[in-house]
Amino acid sequence: FLLAQPHSVSESPGKTVVISCTRSSGSIASNYVQWYQQRPGSAPTIVIYEDNQRPSGVPDRFSGSIDSSSNSASLTVSGLKTEDEADYYCQSYDSSNHVVFGGGTKLTVL
Amino acid sequence: EVQLVESGGGLVQPGGSLRLSCAASGFTFSFYWMHWVRQVPGKGLVWVSRINGDGTNTSHADSVKGRFTISRDNAKNTLYLQMNSLRAEDTAVYYCTRDFPSYGPHFSNSFDPWGQGTLVTVSS
């Protein structure tokens, strides 16, 4: 299966942005979705796991959700800061434990 | 502080071999599933391999199966990726990462923290 993400999104500081991740086959609810942030020149870090869980140290401005009707997951970042500018990747897996990452979304905070 | 430090990357000719290492510190290494994930510069992330805590259970992506082997030395707190029959399409930054959020007999298929990565370039 594939995970489709928009190539890029942009928004102003203080605003809210939503990044989508649509699963091509199989139910989005069948396997957990994770989200990773990758700043330029750095390794990824996890910001959401198990669909909507936030690791310690991740600001509560980051939240995750899934929508079975659209077979998609979403990462919402509210109160945007310039430091949120990064690439964001969704990730999930299937019943055979094949791990799949989305193609990534470049978030620009204007 | 949990730390993962990869090494062993470099330039290798097509058909050649390379062994990557990942030195772990700051946690009980033998408790955790560990993974390798790669990223072509400027492109997306691709999962490569996983291994359980005692090294008895491994899995590889179809694209590397039969060519790459993941292993670990818990006495040295080190994860390895032996890469044989390398191809140009294996060119990427290779990251070692730990299963997240917890340890145990079952993996979570989520990853954190990550090392800084080591670049492998396959070219003649």
Region A63-88: mean pLDDT is 97
Region A28-52: mean pLDDT is 97
- pLDDT at B104 exceeding the cut of 90: no
Model confidence at B110, pLDDT cuts 50, 70, 90, reads very high
Predicted pLDDT at B120:
98
Predicted pLDDT at A4:
98
pLDDT cut 90: percent of chain A above it:
95
Region B1-14: mean pLDDT is 97
Cα B13 → chain centroid:
20
If one compares A87 and B106, the residue with the highest pLDDT of the two is: A87
End-to-end CA distance of chain B: 40
Interchain proximity A45–B112, CB inside 8 Å: yes
CA distance B8 to B95: 12
CA distance B69 to B18: 11
CA distance B30 to B87: 32
Q: Does B77 touch chain A (CB under 8 A)?
A: no
Region B18-43: mean pLDDT is 97
Distance from CA of B112 to the nearest CA of A (A): 6
Region B59-64: mean pLDDT is 96
By CB neighbour count within 10 A (0-12 exposed, 13-18 middle, 19+ buried), where does A55 fall? middle
Predicted pLDDT at B40:
97
Interchain proximity B59–A55, CB inside 8 Å: no
Which residue of chain B comes nearest to A44, CA vs CA?
B114
- pLDDT at A10 exceeding the cut of 90: yes
Q: Does B47 touch chain A (CB under 8 A)?
A: yes
Which single residue is written with the structure tokens 């030395």?
Answer: B73
Of B109, B113, B114, the CB nearest to A93: B109
Interchain proximity A32–B114, CB inside 8 Å: no
Average pLDDT, chain B: 96
Interchain proximity B110–A104, CB inside 8 Å: no
- pLDDT at B123 exceeding the cut of 90: yes
Predicted pLDDT at A46:
98
By CB neighbour count within 10 A (0-12 exposed, 13-18 middle, 19+ buried), where does B78 fall? middle
Contacts of A1 (CB under 8 A, 6+ apart): A23, A24, A25, A26, A94, A100
Structure tokens at A97: 């434990």
Structure tokens at A70: 């659209």
Predicted pLDDT at B103:
83
Q: Does B3 touch chain A (CB under 8 A)?
A: no
Region B110-123: mean pLDDT is 97
Predicted pLDDT at B105:
85
Model confidence at B102, pLDDT cuts 50, 70, 90, reads confident
